[in-house]
Amino acid sequence: MSEPRVERLAASELDLIRPLLVDLNLLEQTYYAEHPQLSRAEVESGLGGLEPHFVGENVILCVREADGARLAGFCWVVLFDPGTGLEGEVAEVFVAEDHRQEGVGRALLAAAVAIFEERGVTLGYVWTRAANEAATALYQHAGFSPTKQVVMSWYPTER
């Protein structure tokens, strides 16, 4: 048997993947009881126009120190729709050491989640190390929960 031939799908043919995307969404949602279980028609109507490129948006939230000259903390939110629904990522959260335990992180994450809700984000996520207990507790307080998926990373190797 010969190797499958891989090709890049032309922009004019992107709708060919719609049936597969619908099947994938219908299958995957069954693994997440807390996620609304959508019908085939709902999944199909939720798929936006498939485009070869997509645009994202960065929203930077901050809490200023009392004098306004410096920041006590910031939260970088990324919003993008790859064609399967608006996704949101809390890309970065950082609170200056002398402002920790003041509610800065909670306020920033509450504002990020409010953006997710206002914009109709279909999937929101945040990354951290399992050993970062303070961040994990903060994210769980904001409504994030540990994923049931395995997240694997690819890093370029030296050549």
pLDDT of residue 151: 81
For 85-123, what is each residue's pLDDT tens digit?
A: 899 999 999 999 899 999 999 999 999 999 999 999 988
Q: Which residues of 132-142 are buried (b: 16+ CB within 10 A; e: fewer)?
A: eeebbebbeeb
CA-CA distance, 149 to 145, in Å (whole number)? Answer: 11
pLDDT of residue 88: 96
What are the tokens at 117? Answer: 């809700």
pLDDT of residue 159: 65
Spell out the domain ranges in the chain.
13-51, 53-146
What's the CATH number for 53-146?
A: 3.40.630.30
pLDDT of residue 7: 82
Q: What is the DSSP string of 28-60?
A: HHTT-TTS----HHHHHHH-----S---EEEEE
For the chain (159 residues), the mean pLDDT of every run of 10, in chain order, is: 76 85 87 84 85 88 89 94 90 92 93 95 90 93 88 77
CA-CA distance, 14 to 53, in Å (whole number)? Answer: 11
